[in-house]
Amino acid sequence: MDRLIEAIAAKENPSVIGLDPRPELIPEQLLMDEGQSQPSPVLYAAQLASAYYSFNKAIIDAVVDLVPAVKPQIAMYEALGPLGMDVYVLTCRYAQEQGLQVIGDIKRGDIGSTAAAYAKHLTGSNVVRGQEPLSGDELDNCAWGPGLWYEDAITVNPYLGSDGIRPFAQAAEEGDKDIFVLVRTSNAGELQELELAQGGRAFEAVGDMVEDWGSESIGEHGYSRVGAVVGATHPSEGAALRARMPHSFFLVPGYGAQGGKAADVAGMFDAQGSGAIVNSSRGVIGAWRQDPNYQEDMGHEETLDLVGRNARRAAMAMRDDLRAALRA
């Protein structure tokens, strides 16, 4: 987790922007050809995917000096089929090229060799056997460059237990990357809240497992390569988990549009103000929708500028909000 922690420290900003595009967050003109005045009666997945990429790049460009990381939600791309996955990867690659950490919110999980296959998100290469080619000609054979998914960390699901998580933890070690295990998510009750015969609830038992899975990969800053997803909408549980899981870095979704406030997440940080990174998606990438300057007849470039300016303003407000809560 060292690289992420250092990136947060460099920007003095423990926040991450969720790149979760949806049709309703995309300005209508980005779905039309430049100069077209009426929406086409039919919108293809390929058109939407292409608009997602322009939209994401505008947001990345606007926040790159402010935030340490972005978190693309793969489901939004997967909803467009395999070509949506292409745009997911292009987005990750573009963000990495700009120097951002990329947390792939992929929530994968399986056992043994199948988990190891998913873990190629962290260690995979377009060269699956033999030596990495050095010449330009051979590199040209890799449609996507040498990388596969361009993620620095991914989220994973613990339902399949140790046999499911260890292959991811091992890939994280090999690839100098990180994973975040779902522990306590926003608005997800039943299973996580089951009361256990041994005392405590199921998510607390998962929290203990996370500490254990990470015990061999603790980095320079005291946190392991196995972090935890802990939703902002459970402030007191989050603070209790912080105490219970001293070596597990937290990824905290649910700030902003989902209802979590800076005061709610303050308890998920450690005494030094480290130990967590807070995600906001819609509140940042959809901020343009509250801008009275938006007009439906703006051109593509002007629209992307407006999207970027609003995202930057929202990202700055979130950063200042978190800084103030952590000083308090």
Is 107 assigned a catalytic role?
yes
Q: Nearest to residue 290, comparing CAs of 275, 277, 309? A: 309
Q: Nearest to residue 49, comparing CAs of 83, 74, 9, 75? A: 83
CB of 210 to a second copy, least distance (A): 11
CB of 126 to a second copy, least distance (A): 5
CB of 77 to a second copy, least distance (A): 9
CB of 156 to a second copy, least distance (A): 10
Instruction: Tell me if 112 contacts a second copy by CB under 8 A.
Output: yes
* Contacts (Cβ under 8 Å, ≥6 apart) of 2: 219, 220, 221, 223
Dist. CA 119–CA 113, nearest whole Å: 9
> Would you say 83 or 298 has its CB closer to a second copy?
83
Footprint (CB under 8 A) of a second copy, residues 119-178? 120-121, 124-131, 133, 138, 141-144, 148-149, 157-164
DSSP code of residue 260: B
Footprint (CB under 8 A) of a second copy, residues 51-110? 73, 75-76, 78-83, 85-86, 88-89, 107-110
Among 69, 70, 115, 314, binds a second copy (CB under 8 A): 115
163 and 114 Cβ atoms separated by less than 8 Å: no
DSSP code of residue 252: E
State in Å, rounded, how far the first CA of the chain is from the last one: 26
CB of 194 to a second copy, least distance (A): 5
3-state secondary structure of 126: coil
Question: Residues in contact with a second copy, total (CB under 8 A)?
Answer: 79
Footprint (CB under 8 A) of a second copy, residues 180-199? 182, 185-192, 194-198
140 and 146 Cβ atoms separated by less than 8 Å: no
Among 9-17, 115-123, 286-294, 310-318, the segment contacting a second copy (CB under 8 A): 115-123
Among 10, 12, 36, 44, binds a second copy (CB under 8 A): 44
Footprint (CB under 8 A) of a second copy, residues 213-252? none
Instruction: Tell me if 272 contacts a second copy by CB under 8 A.
Output: no
> Taking CB under 8 A as the rule, which mask of x and - marks residues 22-41 in contact with a second copy?
xx----------------xx
Of the candidates 57, 107, 120, 261, the residue annotated as catalytic is 107
DSSP per residue over 233-251, as a string? T-HHHHHHHHHH-TT--EE
CA 272 to chain centre: 23
As given in the structure block, the two tokens for residue 296 are: 């439906």
Residues serving a catalytic function are 107
